[in-house]
Amino acid sequence: MWLYSTTVAGAAPEFDRLPVLPEPALAGSPVGGGTVGKAGGDVKEGAVLWHFVIGIVAMPHSEFLATALEAARAADDVVRHYYQRNLKITIKADKSPVTEADVETEKAIRSLLAAKYPAHGFHGEETGITALDADYVWFVDPIDGTKAFVREYPMFSTQIALMHKGRLIVGVSSAPVYGELAYGEIGVGAWLNEQPLRVSSIDTIEDAALSTGNLKSLATGPRWPAFGRLVGRLSRIRGYGDFLHYHLLASGRIDAVVESDVNILDVGACAVIVEAAGGRFTDLEGRPFTPQSTGVLATNGKLHQAIYEAIHS
């Protein structure tokens, strides 16, 4: 039997494999004080909520990740309320659609984050930008996939990411109608519906499964012929798109993702999840993904250099 936990008030233990102890540890130790419960139960210890399960090991969630998950749950409630309600659609200046659901979902997220962390910056798809020069900045797309939302198929999600001094560190990708909640934290781990995630070990293009998403800029640019040659070498090519192919990549079900015409609001959370699961996430030039990035090369890590070279050949 092993122990894993969810931080509910900030403090995080230092160990990533903690056996259930025969006696409760002293208060203030990595496992806190209190009586160890039976398999499947919980013991709440001031700073940490511990869960007892058989055969599952994970690091505790930081306060930041716990807050992001709380925000995602609040967003899920709003999304479900508005889904399949035949909402009025407004077309924004960039020709993308927006509905009342997008705006109200982001308000719910922003209100919770602002109350918890008033000094943090915020960049939202619908409600704007504040304090981008803060050490911590939240990036939120309340409904990534509004077109799917209004056409009533479940390929949309809420994306919540936290950046610290230029590096993405926490990500939550919630697709409530599809039924998947993925989340991760750099240096801690990643999970999908509470199950630990790990990328695949495939190490050759000929054995790899790759998914694509948005490809407009790539298709009209100079790398399109090279990408076509890459496709001819792959074991499998699909276009799962949106949140789904990043969930699949982080869980080892596919091995790489290539897409253009995205931004940090669309994929910042998934970048964290993929990297926390052991993968690699860069722009199409192989550089770290930033608020200025518009393309993605994401892999299990083992394939990154080979696919990068293939699309630049």
Q: What is the pLDDT along the chain (313 residues), one digit of tens a residue?
A: 333 334 333 333 333 332 332 333 333 333 233 333 333 333 333 334 443 333 444 456 899 999 999 999 999 999 999 999 989 999 998 888 999 999 999 999 999 999 999 999 999 999 999 999 999 999 999 999 999 999 999 999 999 999 999 999 999 999 999 999 999 999 999 999 999 999 999 999 999 999 999 999 999 999 999 999 999 999 999 999 999 999 999 999 999 999 999 999 999 999 999 999 999 999 999 999 999 999 999 999 999 999 999 999 9
Instruction: Kindly state whether residues 76 and 190 are assigned to the same domain.
Output: yes
CATH number, domain of 241, equals 3.40.190.80
Report the b/e string of 103-112 with b at 16+ CB within 10 A. Answer: bbbbbbbbeb
* Residue 141 and residue 246 share a domain: no
Instruction: Indicate whether 174 and 163 sit together in one domain.
Output: yes
CATH of residue 126: 3.30.540.10
Domain boundary among 150, 172, 196: 196
Same domain, 172 and 232: no
Number of domains forming the structure of the chain: 3
Do 69 and 45 lie in a common domain? no
Whole-angstrom distance, CA of residue 235 vs CA of residue 210: 8
β-pairing, 236-238 vs 209-212, is parallel
Do residues 52 and 67 share a domain?
no
37 with 93, same domain? no
Q: Do 31 and 100 fall within a single domain?
A: no
- Domain co-membership, 157 together with 263: no
Domain boundary among 60, 78, 111: 60
Residue 173 shares a structural domain with residue 246: no
Tell me the CA distances in angstroms from 94 to 103, 139, 146, 162, 262, one per residue in order: 16, 19, 13, 25, 13
Claim to verify: residue 179 and residue 115 sit in the same structural domain: yes
Rounded CA-CA distance 106/125 in Å is 8
Q: Radius of gyration of the chain from Cα atoms?
A: 20
Of 23, 40, 60, which residue sits at a domain end?
60
What pTM was computed for the model? 0.82
Instruction: Say whether both 166 and 209 belong to one domain.
Output: no
* Owning domain of residue 142: 63-196
